[in-house]
Homo-oligomer: A and B are copies of this chain.
């Protein structure tokens, strides 16, 4: 998102990017331990860049580090996840507000396309991907340095739980989301930032309340279960 793409030469950045990909894809579920040497072997590198990569992932909120003990894939309790959603409710409407005035017609067309695709689609993984694309694209107009990164982090850390509860909802629970996406789109088309903020707030809030009704998605006792 930031420094990575341009000169992907640094080993530590490569490792961090690859691990991030895998974590977001659900390859490493929350609570799983990462051993430095394993990861180093996996990438054919020494442990030094792996340690740096762990620190980068920690900054992204994807990994928890404990001194002299190890690294674990970040795990959220229900309460923590609700907290993240409450933060999103407050922050993302702001980002959207800063973005809307600078959205090009091209991007708005893409948004419409994504909303339609999402509605026609029945695959969970595809929905997750399109939904993420849709929202992040709606923020693409914002010429913001730090807020954008912050929102990305929030999406990353909640990604796993979004997947889990999306699975539970199966396909019929998506209708409100689709409606909200279309409402958001029309607010954007009208350049009505206040309305867009309101719709987005409600969208995130509704998701939070639904998540809270599926506590089984979260670990019972949040002690680091090791292995």
Contacts and interface: CB of A to CB of B under 8 A. Distances in A.
A51 interface: yes
Nearest to A92: B90
Contact of A90 (B9, B61, B94): B94
A145 B75 CA distance: 12
A65 B66 CA distance: 23
A38 interface: no
Contact of A59 (B59, B83, B145): B59
Interface string A52-94: 1001101101000111100000000001100110110011001
A139 to B, nearest CB: 13
A150 interface: yes
A146 interface: yes
A91 to B, nearest CB: 6
A170 interface: no
B80 A146 contact: yes
Interface in A96-153: 144-147, 150
A60 to B, nearest CB: 9
Nearest to A93: B90
B3 A145 contact: no
Contacts of A83: 144-147
Contacts of A56: 55
Given A83-B147, A87-B146, 20 more contacts: A3-B66, A3-B67, A10-B67, A13-B67, A52-B52, A58-B59, A59-B59, A79-B145, A80-B145, A83-B144, A83-B146, A86-B94, A86-B147, A87-B91, A87-B94, A87-B147, A87-B150, A90-B90, A90-B91, A91-B91
Interface of A: 3, 7, 9-10, 13, 48, 51-52, 55-56, 58-59, 61, 65-68, 79-80, 83-84, 86-87, 90-91, 94, 144-147, 150
